[in-house]
Amino acid sequence: MSQHDQTVYVRHMLDAARKAVGYTLGKTKQDLLINELLSLAIVQLLQILGEAARRTSAEYRATTPQIPWRQIIGTRDRLAHGYDQVNYDTVWTILTDELPPLIAKLEQLVPPEAAP
Protein backbone atom coordinates (compact mmCIF):
# COMPACT_ATOMS: atom_id res chain seq x y z
CA MET A 1 0.00 0.00 0.00
CA SER A 2 1.40 3.39 -0.94
CA GLN A 3 2.03 6.15 1.55
CA HIS A 4 -0.90 8.02 0.00
CA ASP A 5 -3.18 5.06 0.76
CA GLN A 6 -1.95 5.06 4.37
CA THR A 7 -3.49 8.48 4.87
CA VAL A 8 -6.91 6.81 4.78
CA TYR A 9 -6.09 5.19 8.11
CA VAL A 10 -4.50 8.35 9.44
CA ARG A 11 -7.70 10.22 8.59
CA HIS A 12 -9.70 7.59 10.49
CA MET A 13 -7.36 8.05 13.45
CA LEU A 14 -7.68 11.81 13.26
CA ASP A 15 -11.46 11.65 13.03
CA ALA A 16 -11.76 9.33 16.05
CA ALA A 17 -9.36 11.44 18.12
CA ARG A 18 -11.15 14.68 17.25
CA LYS A 19 -14.53 13.18 18.13
CA ALA A 20 -13.27 11.84 21.46
CA VAL A 21 -11.86 15.22 22.43
CA GLY A 22 -14.94 17.03 21.12
CA TYR A 23 -17.37 14.82 23.00
CA THR A 24 -15.59 15.58 26.26
CA LEU A 25 -15.16 19.34 25.86
CA GLY A 26 -16.56 21.00 28.97
CA LYS A 27 -16.86 17.62 30.68
CA THR A 28 -15.08 16.29 33.74
CA LYS A 29 -13.73 12.88 34.56
CA GLN A 30 -16.78 12.48 36.80
CA ASP A 31 -19.02 13.05 33.76
CA LEU A 32 -17.18 10.24 32.00
CA LEU A 33 -17.70 7.95 34.99
CA ILE A 34 -21.43 8.59 35.42
CA ASN A 35 -22.51 8.97 31.79
CA GLU A 36 -22.56 5.46 30.35
CA LEU A 37 -23.32 6.66 26.83
CA LEU A 38 -20.34 9.02 26.92
CA SER A 39 -17.98 6.42 28.35
CA LEU A 40 -19.05 3.81 25.79
CA ALA A 41 -18.57 6.31 22.94
CA ILE A 42 -15.11 7.30 24.15
CA VAL A 43 -13.95 3.72 24.59
CA GLN A 44 -15.23 2.87 21.10
CA LEU A 45 -13.47 5.88 19.58
CA LEU A 46 -10.20 4.90 21.26
CA GLN A 47 -10.61 1.40 19.85
CA ILE A 48 -11.21 2.82 16.37
CA LEU A 49 -8.13 5.01 16.75
CA GLY A 50 -6.05 1.97 17.65
CA GLU A 51 -7.50 -0.27 14.98
CA ALA A 52 -6.83 2.30 12.28
CA ALA A 53 -3.26 2.63 13.61
CA ARG A 54 -2.86 -1.15 13.49
CA ARG A 55 -3.97 -1.18 9.85
CA THR A 56 -1.16 1.12 8.77
CA SER A 57 1.82 -0.69 7.34
CA ALA A 58 4.97 -1.30 9.38
CA GLU A 59 6.86 0.62 6.70
CA TYR A 60 4.62 3.66 7.11
CA ARG A 61 4.89 3.54 10.89
CA ALA A 62 8.67 3.41 10.57
CA THR A 63 8.63 6.63 8.51
CA THR A 64 6.47 8.44 11.07
CA PRO A 65 8.14 7.84 14.45
CA GLN A 66 6.55 10.98 15.92
CA ILE A 67 3.32 8.97 16.31
CA PRO A 68 3.31 6.59 19.31
CA TRP A 69 2.02 3.70 17.21
CA ARG A 70 2.80 0.91 19.67
CA GLN A 71 1.06 2.71 22.53
CA ILE A 72 -2.03 3.54 20.44
CA ILE A 73 -2.38 -0.03 19.22
CA GLY A 74 -1.71 -1.36 22.73
CA THR A 75 -4.45 0.84 24.16
CA ARG A 76 -6.89 -0.53 21.61
CA ASP A 77 -5.93 -4.08 22.54
CA ARG A 78 -6.33 -3.43 26.28
CA LEU A 79 -9.74 -1.82 25.76
CA ALA A 80 -11.02 -4.51 23.41
CA HIS A 81 -9.77 -7.49 25.38
CA GLY A 82 -10.16 -6.00 28.84
CA TYR A 83 -13.56 -4.44 28.21
CA ASP A 84 -14.61 -5.40 31.72
CA GLN A 85 -11.63 -3.74 33.37
CA VAL A 86 -11.45 -0.30 31.75
CA ASN A 87 -9.39 2.13 33.83
CA TYR A 88 -11.20 5.43 33.36
CA ASP A 89 -8.41 7.37 35.08
CA THR A 90 -6.17 6.24 32.23
CA VAL A 91 -8.87 6.97 29.65
CA TRP A 92 -9.24 10.49 31.05
CA THR A 93 -5.47 11.05 30.91
CA ILE A 94 -5.46 9.92 27.29
CA LEU A 95 -8.33 12.30 26.49
CA THR A 96 -6.90 15.34 28.20
CA ASP A 97 -3.14 14.93 27.94
CA GLU A 98 -2.36 12.67 25.00
CA LEU A 99 -5.00 13.16 22.32
CA PRO A 100 -4.63 16.94 21.77
CA PRO A 101 -0.91 16.69 20.85
CA LEU A 102 -1.60 13.51 18.86
CA ILE A 103 -4.25 15.34 16.84
CA ALA A 104 -1.70 18.03 15.95
CA LYS A 105 0.79 15.38 14.83
CA LEU A 106 -1.80 13.51 12.78
CA GLU A 107 -2.93 16.73 11.10
CA GLN A 108 0.63 17.14 9.80
CA LEU A 109 0.40 13.74 8.10
CA VAL A 110 -2.87 14.38 6.28
CA PRO A 111 -2.62 16.39 3.08
CA PRO A 112 -4.61 19.64 3.38
CA GLU A 113 -6.98 18.66 0.58
CA ALA A 114 -7.78 15.43 2.46
CA ALA A 115 -8.32 16.96 5.89
CA PRO A 116 -11.89 16.57 7.14
Tell whether 85 is covered by a domain: yes
Tell whether 116 is covered by a domain: no
Chain mean pLDDT for the chain: 94
Tell whether 113 is covered by a domain: no
Name the nearest CA neighbour of 102 among 76, 75, 69.
69
The band of 31, judged by pLDDT with boundaries at 50, 70 and 90, is very high
Tell whether 76 is covered by a domain: yes
Tell whether 24 is covered by a domain: yes
**How does pLDDT run across 77-114, given as a tens digit for each residue?**
999 999 899 999 999 999 999 999 999 999 999 977 64
In the chain, how many domains are there? Answer: 1
- Domain extent, residue 25, equals 3-107
Question: Quick check: 20 and 99 in contact, CB under 8 A?
Answer: yes
Tell whether 26 is covered by a domain: yes
